[in-house]
Structure 1
Amino acid sequence: MAPPKGKPTVMANSSRSDRQDDAILEATWCYYIEGLNQNDIAKRLNISRASVVNYLQEARRREYVRITIDPDIFRHQKLARDMVAKFGLKDALVVPSELTDRGTLERVARGTADWLPTLLEPGDRLGVAWGETVYRVAEAAPHTIMDDLTVVQLVGSRPAALGFAAETCSATLARRFGAHCINLHVPLLLTNKNLADQLRAEPVVAEQLQAVENCNKTIFAAGTCREDSHVVQAGIISAASMRDQVTKGASAVICGRIVDQDGAALPISIEDRMIGVSLDQMRNKDLSLMVGTGPDRIMPMLAAINGGYATHIATCTDTAAAMLETTI
């Protein structure tokens, strides 16, 4: 009996895929372990140099290989030490700035992602904020098992552009670290205070909020108070209300809460309708890692430092130099 039509093609495709996977692994081993150059690998595998390049790129994409630089290099450079000395930080990591803001953010996120595991210990409860910066760190984090680590979502859920929602940030980082994840299964902003109070009183939510309070370490970004800030785009506060807050001295947004240049809270009318970590709960941690880069983050980051919200900072050379030169 003849085999069903199409079956030989499926088997052939599977065979080709297996052979290609083997070639990717062989090229990866030759390049990164044996130190062969791309021409030598092409000759050994009897393929073109372009194929070797593609195989090595595919190996990186699949995370067969992860190139890292010891984060201590970026902690011990002069700008990092100057940041620690001037601002009373426990530590700082400063990576080289890139030509574009996007490129620099990716560098800072990757540097932070490689640094973060060295800052964690068994039994830690890591509170994770939200937004693009934190999301980029989570996405860049290595796949590594962190023993007895709990990752906790610090603010309630809210639709966010490009997937930078709070639950995405915490879940992604927990998955990368093989950690237990506690998400905060409530909206960040409710329509009225009574509903917010009722939700806080629900046993499951109360337990999650207790986990938020019990975090001994956090990672967050200090947001801007511009009309295009994350909290405005997410609909937490209107552009008009943000402009009004700026006239009152608003300088930074920390986990959805607005602070002035001294880091003091500037309560807004929606405070009693928000569910998430409080500003008081963001202070006095074993580690509070603030990540940020760019000219628009200089004043927000300084405000967070003044308010005692940051013990560690990860940024770029341009931002660090500007912060050191800024008088407030």
Structure 2
Amino acid sequence: MNENKRKLLAKVAYLYYIEDNTQAEIAKTLNIYRTTISRMLKQARAMGIVKVQIEGFDTKVFDLEQQLKRRFGLDNAVVVPNYENENHETKEKRLSAEAALYLKQIIKPKDIVGFAWGSVLAGMVGQLNNPIKTEATFVPLVGGPSTANMQYHVNGIVYDAARQFGGRSLFVDAAAVQESKYVRDGIMNAQYFQEIQHCWANLDIAFVGIGGGLNSHTSRWRDLLTATDQQLLKARQAVGDCCCTFYDRSGKILTGDLLNRTIAIELAALKQTPNVVGVARSLSKVPSIKALLTMSVLNTLITDEVTAQRILDIS
């Protein structure tokens, strides 16, 4: 490229970045089409005539977010940086804080917001920090745990969220996994459950956790599974679950008796929700998170730096 062309590119860049002229103003000043100005600005950056540097932030996490969005067709991705000497609890707490901030950003008055299982989701509520009053409705997307794990009940999450946002909460008064399809159907067809079903069909926002492999001990509802359930899931190579629905590494939902006994929103129905936010981290969950991303259930993923990088590395 000759020196005159480089000089023109430099002048366009100067007027835009230093003098803060609009592209339309530059086009009028230089008698050049506005679309040409846009191309010239991109060319100036590509040639190194203009270098953009962001101070005070590690832009590596922003790059990971963009890669995740492009790779999996997400509307948004939020990557939390990792720091040395952080323990598991600190990482989980910072992820919960980021998820809480994201909920505050996207929630609107009168929204219907669903929550599924997840220790990180439970940790969100304590970090909302004076949210606006929305009169939103908060609803569980799954049934509850066993009596041994009642302190982790999803009803508690929706109750606390509704209290902080000035909304109302609905509850599922039954365990996530029932002894038979007949019992499950009886509960889900009951009169009280119809409002929950209506909310599931009209969700605006859903926050879901992502369970890892069968050897994971962090899921507080899996003690509801029978030994037969465990054996069949292992035989079918279950890689993880979302909303108490298991799937394999290829993203195939593992249908059958267990799913027929499970009280939870169907993942196919969840896909119709405008904002489905998955919140999960840890290398042990990478296969499960990646499989769920390939199923196009999520619009947004909130995770940490190490997890995001590994997801991209194995894709």
- TM-score, length of structure 2 as denominator length: 0.74
Comparing 175-184 with 240-249, which one deviates more in the overlay? 240-249
| Cα deviation 1:177-200 (Å, max 9, x = unaligned) | 222212223332222322222222
Match of 1:255 in 2: 243
CA distance in 1 between counterparts of 2:306 and 2:58 reads 17
Match of 2:88 in 1: 101
Say if 1:83 and 1:89, in contact at 8 Å, map to a contact too.
yes
- The 3 A distance-change label for structure 1 pair 113 and 73 is farther
Match of 1:92 in 2: 77
- The 3 A distance-change label for structure 1 pair 247 and 199 is closer
CA distance in 1 between counterparts of 2:149 and 2:126 reads 16
| Cα deviation 1:252-273 (Å, max 9, x = unaligned) | 2111110122322102422222
Say if 1:75 and 1:91, in contact at 8 Å, map to a contact too.
no
- The Cα of 1:156 is off from its aligned counterpart by 1.6
| Cα deviation 1:153-175 (Å, max 9, x = unaligned) | 11122236482211112212222
Q: Show the 5 A alignment for 1:134-213.
A: 134-159=121-146, 161=149, 163-213=151-201
SS in 1 for 2:307: helix
Q: Quick one: which amino acid aligns to residue 77 of structure 2?
A: A
- The 3 A distance-change label for structure 1 pair 307 and 199 is same
Q: Show the 5 A alignment for 1:41-80.
A: 77-80=62-65
Say if 1:122 and 1:147, in contact at 8 Å, map to a contact too.
yes
- The 3 A distance-change label for structure 1 pair 276 and 74 is farther
- The 3 A distance-change label for structure 1 pair 190 and 162 is closer
| Cα deviation 1:105-131 (Å, max 9, x = unaligned) | 111111111121111122321111012
Match of 2:206 in 1: 218
| Cα deviation 1:203-235 (Å, max 9, x = unaligned) | 111222222232122001110122334557542
CA distance in 1 between counterparts of 2:257 and 2:211 reads 19
SS in 2 for 1:190: coil
Q: Show the 5 A alignment for 1:306-321.
A: 306-321=294-309
Match of 2:261 among 273, 277, 280: 273
1:128 and 2:103 aligned: no
CA RMSD of aligned residues (A): 2.4
Structure 1's unaligned 5+ residue stretches are: 1-71
SS in 2 for 1:246: helix
- The Cα of 1:278 is off from its aligned counterpart by 1.3
SS in 2 for 1:235: helix
CA distance in 2 between counterparts of 1:238 and 1:151 reads 30
Residue correspondences, number = 256
CA distance in 2 between counterparts of 1:192 and 1:96 reads 44
Match of 2:233 in 1: 245
How high is the sequence identity, in percent, across the aligned residues?
19
More contact order relative to length (CA 8 Å, sep ≥ 6): 2
- The 3 A distance-change label for structure 1 pair 216 and 321 is same
SS in 1 for 2:77: strand
- The Cα of 1:74 is off from its aligned counterpart by 8.5
Comparing 221-230 with 249-258, which one deviates more in the overlay? 221-230
- The 3 A distance-change label for structure 1 pair 294 and 74 is farther
- The Cα of 1:73 is off from its aligned counterpart by 9.3
SS in 2 for 1:93: strand
Say if 2:114 and 2:206, in contact at 8 Å, map to a contact too.
yes
SS in 2 for 1:142: coil
